[in-house]
């Protein structure tokens, strides 16, 4: 029996993922509060929280997935709404943190978009952030509030182990996901392979070669975003060699 939470804990659903908010409230055995989210004719978003949140610790569930800008704005407005209504603490449960891919400038003239989003949320009074597999973990140091970074492998490992695949190799589709894949490979006692690729443009990637042994092995391809899905299954096979065996994909949908 899990410990009972203080009565001052409230879960508030934004408009991005009401099912997750409902499931969380069920797990926590607390009532779910929902916000009214609407838009004016010009597209301006308006929100309203009718629940009494004074002196409460409010957990707002709002992944900033597509449409990213709308969901981000709703989150910012909800934080301000509950802050203005007297909430004691406001935590954002943002398992998908939009703009996290743009945490550094790739060329002169680019903004630091992830930092802009972080400052927006800090500016409206977000006290704490809970997110899942932050695309660029280094972004944590730029967040103006404490963050809890959850890892998807905690969820996936029991399932993957239950498959009991032999000759498993963990494959990361790009070098940026190396540490994530390394952790998984270590936990599974499996070797690691890396696909090197180039990015000719946003949301596009070209596979170049595989570093590591994948021939006739069960490949566990690990990625955190579904945007470039077109390239996951393009594992180049060296001339004169057999290709990889069965593929398995483990990822977070975004």
Partner 1 sequence: MAPGAADRLGAAQFGNVLTSDSIPVSAERWLEIVPIAPLVARTVRYLCGEGRQFDLG
Q: Which residues bind partner 1 (CB under 8 A)?
A: 2-3, 5-6, 8-9, 16-17, 19-20, 23-24, 26-28, 55, 57, 59, 63, 65-66, 88-89, 91, 93, 95-96, 128, 130, 132, 146, 148, 150, 152, 154-156, 159-160, 163, 203, 218, 221, 226-227, 229-230, 232-233, 246-254
Minimum separation from the CB atom of position 77 to partner 1 (A): 20
Among the listed residues 161, 179, 197, 246, the single catalytic one is 197
Q: Is 39 helix (H, G, I), strand (E, B) or coil?
A: strand
Angle at CA of residue 112, ends 111 and 117, nearest 5°: 115
Contact 5, 59 (CB under 8 A): no
Which tokens sit at 53?
A: 């949140």
Task: Please report the DSSP string for 149-213 in residue order.
Answer: EE-THHHHHHHHHHH--SSEEEEESSGGGHHHHHHHHHHHT--EEEEEEE-SSTT--EEEEEES-
C-alpha angle with apex 35: 126 to 65, nearest 5 degrees? 65
Instruction: Give 45 or 130: the residue with its C-beta nearer to partner 1.
Output: 130
Annotated catalytic, 197?
Answer: yes
Closest CB 254 distance from partner 1, rounded Å: 6
User: What tokens does 29 get?
Assistant: 């055995």
Q: Which residues contact 113 (CB under 8 A, 6 or more apart)?
A: 99, 102, 103
Tell the smallest beta-carbon distance from residue 5 to partner 1 (Å).
6
Q: Give me the least distance between CB of 16 and partner 1, in Å please.
A: 7
Cα–Cα distance list, 151 to 139, 180, 181, 186 (Å): 15, 9, 12, 15
CA distances from 155 to 133, 149, 150, 182, 251 (A): 12, 14, 10, 16, 11
Q: Which is nearer to partner 1, 112 or 231 (CB)?
A: 231
CB-nearer residue toward partner 1: 41 or 253: 253
Give me 1's structure tokens: 């029996």
Smallest gap from Cβ 136 to partner 1, in A, equals: 16
Active site residues: 197
């Amino acid at each position: 029996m899990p410990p009972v939470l203080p009565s001052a804990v409230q879960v508030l659903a934004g408009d991005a993922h009401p099912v997750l908010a409902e499931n969380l409230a069920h797990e926590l055995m607390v009532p779910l509060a929902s916000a009214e989210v609407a838009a004016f004719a010009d597209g301006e978003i308006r929100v309203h929280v009718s629940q009494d949140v004074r002196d409460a610790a409010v957990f707002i569930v709002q992944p900033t997935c597509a449409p990213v800008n709308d969901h981000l704005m709703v989150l910012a407005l909800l934080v301000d709404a509950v802050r203005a209504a007297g909430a004691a603490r406001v935590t954002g449960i943002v398992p998908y943190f939009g703009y996290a891919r743009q945490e550094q400038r790739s060329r002169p003239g680019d903004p630091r978009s992830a930092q802009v989003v972080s400052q927006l949320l800090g500016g409206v009074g977000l006290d704490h952030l809970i997110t899942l597999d932050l695309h660029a973990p280094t972004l944590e140091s730029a967040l103006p509030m404490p963050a809890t970074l959850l890892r998807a492998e905690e969820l996936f490992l029991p399932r993957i182990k239950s498959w009991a695949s032999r000759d498993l190799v963990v494959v990361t589709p790009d070098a940026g996901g190396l540490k994530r894949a390394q952790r998984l490979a270590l936990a599974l006692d499996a070797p690691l392979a890396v696909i090197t690729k180039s990015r000719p443009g946003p949301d596009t990637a070209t596979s170049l070669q595989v570093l590591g042994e994948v021939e006739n092995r069960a490949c566990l391809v690990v990625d955190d975003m579904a945007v470039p899905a077109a390239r996951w299954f393009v594992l180049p096979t060296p001339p004169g060699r057999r290709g990889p065996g069965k593929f398995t994909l483990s990822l977070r949908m975004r």
